[in-house]
Structures are given as C-alpha cells and as structure tokens.
C-alpha cells in the first residue's frame, strides 16, 4: 500500500510527543511537510503558512492541525478551500460555531473533516463501552487531576481566552464519557476557579444530569502534584466499572479486566488509533465531527459560577 502524504500544521509539544511518532509508525501516511514558524521536523520540508504549503506542494492533500485552538480556524479553512482533507487535534476549535462552519465547508466540497478525540482510542475505552451498553448507570464520578507545569509547561495559550484552562485535559474525560455512557447527559451546574491573572479556570467541579436527573460529578484540578489522576467510576446495576489512567485500564468491582499501563515507554496507541481512523474516513469519503465533549465544556462556562483562585505562575513562562 502506498502511503498518503500528509502535513502537520503546528510543531509544538503535542506534535512532537504524539503526532510525529504515530505518523512514523503508520503504514497509511508519510509525513511529507510541516507548517511552523518556530521550527519544523528535521529532514522534512517546512513552510511558514498553510497558504504557502498548498500552493507549493499540490501533492499533499491531507493536513493535520496541532496548533492551539485559538489560531486554528483560518488555516483549516484555507486548507479546505484549497481542496485538502483536514484532521483537527482536540479541542477542534476555539468555538463551536467555527467548527460548525468548517464542517459545512467540508461537506460542500466533498472533503473529509475529522475532529479527533484521542482519549477515545485509549486501550480500554471500547471494552468499557461494550460492558456498559446493557447496564443501568446509577452515578458517575470523574476525577481528572494533573499538574499543568509538568504536562503543559510554558504553554501560555491555555490561560488565554479560548485555551480552556483545566478543561484542556478535562475535555478528554468528557470525550470518553460521551462515547461510552449509554444515555445522554447535559451540564446542570458548575463552580470554576479562575486565577486572578488567567482568563481560563485552573480547577472546578461540573455536575451533569441524565434523562432521570443528577448523574455525573466531575472534580477537575490542574495543580495536582505527583502522578496524574485520570479516573472515571461508573456505579451500575451490574457492578462498578472503573476506567483509570485516562482510559488505559478497566476494572470491574476492583478486578482488572483490560488495558495497558500508560507509563510504559513507546506507547502511542491513542494517536495510532487516530491516524488509522483518518485513513478509514478518507477511504470512505466520510467525515466525523462529534462536538458533544466541546458542548459540555461550553455549557460549563455558561452555567458555571466563577470563584477566585490565587494567581498562577509557571516557571517555564518565567513570570514573576
């Protein structure tokens, strides 16, 4: 099988840590170019803009966007206008409306648009969905806690409007929740803690209702020291299912049933799954744009009470 040429747009931490290794391992794609103003990938042609890329490399018809969400829309639109298929890192945009606009443009042009949720490809998510399918879920507890200074060092955009703050990791939990929960949920309330020097929250609690009332509580913290705590617990009429390590490990009533430890070196399975899915969508001439996780985040901002938190300082940003 001949690999499809693909370009990465935005060569930051997520691109280097996940996208580049996943593409190197993919039989379906070959990294043929990058778009970055701060350095590309060694041995790969780099461009300063999407417009320059689509003009000078007409052989590349697939672009994967890893830029911060606040600056993603113009480049993604330019790619679609030029007849290129587009894959979007999560969250797919800075607003729901701009992603809807991209979805409509892709549909009009008969192009693939893939709004990705990498956590849905964690090792145990599919098994958890299958197990929950015939269960009555009584309650869900989400604990999503990590240290932003470890996982997002120096990433100023997270604290600017549109950067989501603690919801940048928490939207991963919501993407799993909406994938595996057999009933729909909607946000019913939230308390969000905003540092005085940031435009996005650093911690919070989000409550969600299902069809029959309160169902989900999410406890979110972006200053959690030590190992990250990415866990969801589902109390059902058939037992308790726990998804741990961001969906990597599944336990039922305390007994491990499936999964791989996320700490093992060399595991890029979530992003391997994304690019395998992209290849399937391209082959089928289809798109996938599921905005339910982003809708939950938007509703948390809409309904959430704003609470004050101490100013946040990241040593990597050299703030004083």
From 90, 129, 263, 264, the catalytic residue: 90
DSSP 304-315: EEEEEE-----G
CB atoms within 10 A of CB 141: 14
- By the 8 A CB rule, do 70 and 160 touch? yes
CA distance readout (Å), 181 to 12, 147, 169, 288: 33, 27, 19, 19
Asked whether the CA dihedral 67, 69, 71, 72 is positive or negative, the reply is: positive
Q: Which one, of 69, 70, 50, 68, lies nearest residue 60 by Cα?
A: 50
Q: Is 283 a catalytic residue?
A: no
Please tell me what DSSP assigns to residue 201. Answer: -
Asked whether the CA dihedral 235, 236, 240, 245 is positive or negative, the reply is: negative
Please state at what angle helix 96-109 crosses helix 292-303, rounded to 10 degrees.
Answer: 150
Asked whether the CA dihedral 278, 280, 282, 284 is positive or negative, the reply is: negative
Residue 121 region by backbone torsions, left for phi larger than 0, else alpha for psi between -120 and 50, else beta:
alpha
Tokens of 126: 């599919």
- Give residue for tokens 């170019």: 33
Strand locations in 89-238 (E): 113-115, 137-145, 186-195, 203-210, 213-221, 229-236
Q: Name the residues annotated as catalytic.
A: 90
């Amino acid at each position: 099988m001949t690999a499809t040429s693909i370009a990465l747009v935005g060569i930051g931490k997520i691109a280097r840590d996940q996208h580049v290794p996943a593409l190197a391992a993919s039989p379906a794609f070959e990294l043929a170019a990058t778009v970055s103003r701060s350095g590309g990938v060694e041995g790969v042609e780099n461009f300063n803009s999407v417009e320059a890329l689509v003009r000078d490399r007409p052989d590349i018809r697939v672009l994967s966007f890893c830029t911060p969400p606040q600056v993603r829309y113009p480049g993604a639109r330019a790619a679609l206008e030029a007849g290129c298929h587009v894959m979007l890192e999560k969250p797919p945009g800075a607003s729901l409306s701009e992603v809807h606009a991209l979805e409509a443009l892709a549909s009009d042009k008969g192009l693939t648009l893939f709004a990705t949720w990498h956590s849905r490809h964690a090792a145990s998510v599919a098994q958890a969905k299958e197990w929950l399918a015939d269960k009555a879920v009584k309650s869900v507890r989400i604990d999503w806690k990590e240290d932003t200074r470890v996982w997002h060092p120096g990433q100023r955009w997270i604290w600017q409007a549109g950067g989501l703050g603690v919801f940048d990791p928490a939207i991963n939990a919501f993407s799993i929740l909406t994938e595996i929960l057999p009933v729909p949920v909607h946000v019913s309330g939230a308390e969000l803690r905003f540092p005085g020097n940031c435009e996005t929250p650093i911690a919070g609690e989000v409550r969600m209702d299902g069809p029959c009332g309160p169902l989900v509580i999410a406890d979110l913290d972006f200053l959690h020291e030590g190992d990250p705590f990415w866990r969801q617990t589902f109390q059902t009429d058939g037992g308790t299912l726990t998804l741990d390590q961001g969906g990597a490990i599944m336990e039922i009533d305390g007994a491990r049933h499936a999964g791989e430890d996320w700490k093992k070196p060399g595991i890029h399975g979530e992003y391997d799954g994304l690019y395998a899915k992209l290849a399937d969508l391209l082959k089928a001439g289809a798109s996938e744009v599921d905005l339910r996780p982003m809708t939950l985040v938007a509703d948390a901002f809409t309904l959430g009470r704003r609470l004050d938190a101490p100013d946040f300082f990241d040593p990597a940003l050299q703030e004083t």
